[in-house]
Homo-oligomer: A and B are copies of this chain.
């Protein structure tokens, strides 16, 4: 399974929570309370997100975090890149020239690159607004089931 780190998952949750009051300043403890994610983890997420300039931080007594951009302008690809680093499938890709000792392997990097680009495109086409938005509307009981194509995911 191609695994996405939990931190990224949490980040999406936190960001989508923030997008419900876009422009408002949210403190880390408040976000932890409203999302159910442990507070230290929320802080860790927000720190990484602020480093990536996806959220704006304000220090001090009345401080907190706010979305740096509207939710429509934040892609899932950016969130993943902020949390997990560059989006790449293979170790060969991220500049590790010494990593893959087998040289003849590299002959197929072009193929991986093609896959990588397709995946990146898929991730960029989904915004935070898409994830957070009328979720309750689409999230009917059982709606998820037929949302998944037959045989997909396996």
Binding site for B on A (CB under 8 A): 1-4, 6, 9, 12-13, 16, 35-37, 51-52, 76-78, 80-82, 84-94, 100-123, 125-126, 130-132, 135-139, 143-144, 147-149, 151-154
Known: A105-B9, A116-B153, A152-B117. A4 touches B110 (CB 8 A): no
Find out whether the CB atom of A106 lies under 8 angstroms from the CB atom of B9.
no
Q: Which one of B3, B120, B126 lies within 8 Å of A147 (CB-CB)?
A: B120
Give A12 Cβ to nearest chain B Cβ, in Å: 7
Q: Name the B residues within 8 Å of A82 (CB-CB).
A: 152
Find out whether the CB atom of A102 lies under 8 angstroms from the CB atom of B37.
yes
Find out whether the CB atom of A12 lies under 8 angstroms from the CB atom of B108.
yes
Find out whether the CB atom of A94 lies under 8 angstroms from the CB atom of B2.
no
Chain B, residue nearest A136 (CB): B107
Q: Name the B residues within 8 Å of A90 (CB-CB).
A: 4, 9
Find out whether the CB atom of B1 lies under 8 angstroms from the CB atom of A86.
yes
Taken together as a complex, chains A and B put the C-alpha atoms of A102 and B77 apart, in Å, by 23
Find out whether the CB atom of A148 lies under 8 angstroms from the CB atom of B108.
no
Q: Name the B residues within 8 Å of A136 (CB-CB).
A: 107, 110
Q: Name the B residues within 8 Å of A81 (CB-CB).
A: 149, 152, 154
